[in-house]
Amino acid sequence: MIDEVVRSHSLVLGFLHRLLADVPEDWFARQPPGAVNHPAWVIGHLTSSCQAIGGEIGLPPWLDDDWQTRFGTGSTPTDRRHEYPTKAELLATLDDARQRVAARLRRLGESALGQPLPDERYREIFPTLGHAVLHILAAHSAVHVGQLTVWRRAVGLPPMADPFI
């Protein structure tokens, strides 16, 4: 199951890269009506989510505290572009996070996914590590990347024809 989850996460983030390839740097914090979660926040949030699930699978934190403040659960996107890293920095940090989590999952192995989720606060929702990993890397990531398809339309960019090409 690890290979499947890692591949799904990689496909979703590949779609994110294609969605944003033609988006100018200075548009990354635009908040048109009906599309509050802009690219800068979505990328930062997905990176923060990788660190969160990384902690559950035994990775030490690698992002600074300011990253959590700007992008963690409960943070609010702003239209102030200067408050966010550059497009290149955001994408590179997300790619690094994806690689860290994928490598750690492969080292852990399949049997680790059946262990109880270490964070007891979420164990009722995600009883095992596998439940949490699947949700964060596949479902949660796909939801936020889907928000970027709405955002593209709201800022006047054309939709992407096929998420996998």
Residue 32: per-residue pLDDT = 95
Q: Does a structural domain hold residue 160?
A: no
How many domains does one find in the chain?
A: 1
Residue 159: per-residue pLDDT = 87
Residue 162: per-residue pLDDT = 74
State which residues of the chain have pLDDT below 50. Answer: none
Q: How many helices (H) and strands (E) does the chain have?
A: 6, 0
Q: Does a structural domain hold residue 36?
A: yes
Q: Does a structural domain hold residue 6?
A: yes
CATH code, domain with 141: 1.20.120.450
Residue 48 sits in which domain range?
A: 2-154
Instruction: Write down the H helix ranges in 64-124.
Output: 65-71, 87-108
Please work out, in degrees rounded to the nearest 5, the angle formed at the alpha carbon of residue 140 by the alpha carbons of 19 and 160: 20
Quote the CA–CA distance of 129 and 132 in Å, as a whole number.
5
